Structure 1
Amino acid sequence: MGRVLTAIGLMSGTSMDGIDIAVVRTDGDSIVDRGPSAGYAYDPQFRERLKQGLEDARSILKREERPGTLADIERDLTLRHALAVRMFLQENNILPDNVDVIGFHGQTVLHRPDQALTVQLGDGDLLARETGIDVVYDMRANDMAHGGQGAPLIPAYHAAMARGLSKVGEIATPVVFVNIGGISNLTYIGAGEEIVAYDSGPGNTLIDQWVEAHAGIPYDQGGMIASEGGVLRELADRYLSHPFFSAEKRRSLDRNDFAPPAAGDASLEDGARTLAHVTAAGIVRSARPPLPQARVLAAEALDLNGDSMEAEAWAYLAVRSRYGLPLTYPGTTGVSRPVSGGRVAAKHAQAESA
């Protein structure tokens, strides 16, 4: 394998609440040394622009198209990522010259796997110029070009963590990682390092949209609102009867595949509690065949960080991309064969003013 590189991962998920950053030292294979991490929230005005961007993206037919406000949003989003990187490096006393690569996810504004179309806003060349660090970006497209769903991509990192944890006796395979972001996904890692992964349903995105619309806040911190409500079974069943959960073919999800309830469907608290139930029930329902009785642990119980795991994954995947290692597999995205991916933007000396 290649030498160990220092990588920064940048993740802006479907919840559109901000930028997660993490450092990982890795060879893109078995060596994973996790470093510091942080989160930088988007300001409310920019979040509103991102929501408008989702509407503008509905008309996209080709990945390179940027209709409406999308070109301006892409530039401003990239500059916000560059500023977050500079702040993060300064706060952690890391020199840009000591970072080998940035893994840049960007902001997904459209994901239509049935049309082999996925669009993540993010200008890799601009980010490389602004940070003075090589950037790997656009890591989903090559998977789709080879028949994959373009998601989930984090399972390769889950597999690396499972190997590391099993070596020190913290866990034993088979093991399942449950990743609840805006969209939830599962990764199964068998005793022989078999890897199977898929999106399992809506994650936090419905709850976030619900409380923002009805309470004016971006998310339900600590589940405080949901804890005051009850589960409305009829509303929950409406979601859980969605064809996604019974379809023979696994498919990856777009933020718009599930819509939040109508205003009159529930009180603020009952709506939040019901949507939290839907997230958990969707995970169980998607586990086909059903999971046997298993020990359930929070990431932090294994000295992992649930808040930074996706950003860490993007750092890890960037190094795998640099070494031409697979990012996705037939068992994770339905791709025809294991494939690498990502585009490389080389650092440049001249930066643009933010």
Structure 2
Amino acid sequence: MMLTTLGLMSGTSLDGVDLAMIETDGRTVRKFGPSGYRPYTEREKSLLRQALTEAVHLPQRDARPGILREAEEAVTVAHAEAVAAFIAQNRITPEDIDIVGFHGQTVLHRPEKKMTVQIGDAAALARAIRIPVMHDFRAADVEAGGQGAPFVPVYHRALTQSLEREGPIVVVNIGGVANITYIDGADTLIACDTGPGNALLDDFMFRTMHAPFDCEGRFAAQGRVDEAWIKRSLELPFFALPPPKSLDRNDFGALRLGDVPPADGAATLTAFTAAAIARMVPLLPKVPKSWIVCGGGARNLTLIRNLRERLEPATVEASETLGWASDAIEAQAFGFLAARGLKGLPLSYPATTGVPMPMTGGVIARP
């Protein structure tokens, strides 16, 4: 049975809420619907940055002391406003949507401690929007010993099945953290985080240039890459680990470039993201023939050029060139995962998160 789902995603870049509607049975996608975006205000971003700092000390995953309670309320209100605006703009009604997939805002991801925390009150959201909400997608995986990330691979597989091209194909999602999905036919699905996506670069741009990000990679294009720094940084144990593996947004926050011109810093951090992705090639079963880049990083032309240089002779293309809505893919994925969760289908697998067996997940909050 086909369902109309609305996926909501607020990623590690802390920029805002992405929304996307699809028609799906949890296995294939029959139709892409409209997508939307609701940016976080400066106050909301500031709250979330404070929440990231405070979350490190959380005693248990459902605790919301101090600023975390305030941040959770802000996230919930932002998502409710985003859904209300989306419904109005697209002239639909709550009854047109069967289920909402609500990821929430990750403030802590420590799978080795069986802790993954996404803030956002799903019950309050369901009441506000008058639609059933599926949430807490990662908890069951982490509780069973999985990494709890990445969770988009099953959706990447559904998208690539329609391409009819020879594999292996890798889909790279570059948000705050970068992750890959390795697809080789219908049976082989491997996934993991690869290292920093936009997080280190965005934080550096914010610190040095008071800019939220490096638009199209123009600033990095003016700088010189410190390859020696990249080589040293890639010696961190994480990069040699085979998949599955996952990261918290701030896991590489301790890396310091030293006193460098800002353009050189941006160039080096951009190249570091590409080098960390390329570092995966020897850890995969076969050398991929093509790489498809989605997420915010797909708009960074300097990053795409870096990837082409480090991954040749494989092809590297932005997902937009295939007709995929790059900015909407993660939101679409959580609508897809909500449909799978409703039907009890697996959301994660041993080769995507390291969970012992294929796991379904998600919890429903009803209006």
CA distance in 2, matches of 1:266, 1:71: 39
Q: 2:214 aligns with which of 202, 220, 224?
A: 220
Q: 2:50 aligns with which of 31, 49, 52?
A: 52
* Residue deviations 1:61-103 (CA, integer Å, cap 9, x gap): 3111112210111011111110011111111112111011111
Q: Which letter maps to 1:62?
A: Q
* Residue deviations 1:250-308 (CA, integer Å, cap 9, x gap): 42100121016547432221111111101111001023136254322220121111111
The percentage of counterpart residues that share the same residue type is: 45
Task: Give 3-state SS (helix, strand or coil) of 2:100's partner.
Answer: strand
1:315 offset after TM fit, Å?
0.7
Residue 257 of structure 1: aligned partner? 251
Q: 1:308 aligns with which of 320, 328, 339?
A: 328
Q: 1:209 aligns with which of 181, 203, 214?
A: 203
| C-alpha contact (below 8 Å) 2:177/2:198 kept by paired residues | yes
1:335 offset after TM fit, Å?
0.5
| C-alpha contact (below 8 Å) 1:182/1:205 kept by paired residues | yes
Residue 297 of structure 1: aligned partner? 317
* Residue deviations 1:127-174 (CA, integer Å, cap 9, x gap): 1011111100010001112221000000010111122222xxxx3333
CA distance in 2, matches of 1:344, 1:270: 47
**5 Å matches for 1:249-288?**
250-259=244-253, 262=256, 264-287=258-281, 288=283
* Residue deviations 1:303-340 (CA, integer Å, cap 9, x gap): 11111111110110011111111000111001111110
TM-score, normalised relative to structure 1: 0.92
Q: Which letter maps to 1:337?
A: M
Q: Which letter maps to 2:38?
A: Y
Matched residues, number: 341
| C-alpha contact (below 8 Å) 2:150/2:246 kept by paired residues | yes
Residue 342 of structure 1: aligned partner? 362
1:234 offset after TM fit, Å?
3.0
| C-alpha contact (below 8 Å) 1:53/1:109 kept by paired residues | yes
CA distance in 2, matches of 1:81, 1:164: 31
Residue 36 of structure 1: aligned partner? 34
What runs of 5+ residues in structure 2 fail to find an aligned partner? 289-312
TM-score, normalised relative to structure 2: 0.89
Which consecutive segments of 4 or more residues in structure 1 shift more than 6 A? Answer: none
1:248 offset after TM fit, Å?
4.9
Residues 1:318 and 1:112: Cα distance change in structure 2 (over 3 Å): same
CA distance in 1, matches of 2:328, 2:233: 29
| C-alpha contact (below 8 Å) 2:101/2:133 kept by paired residues | yes
Task: Give 3-state SS (helix, strand or coil) of 2:250's partner.
Answer: helix
CA distance in 2, matches of 1:264, 1:199: 26
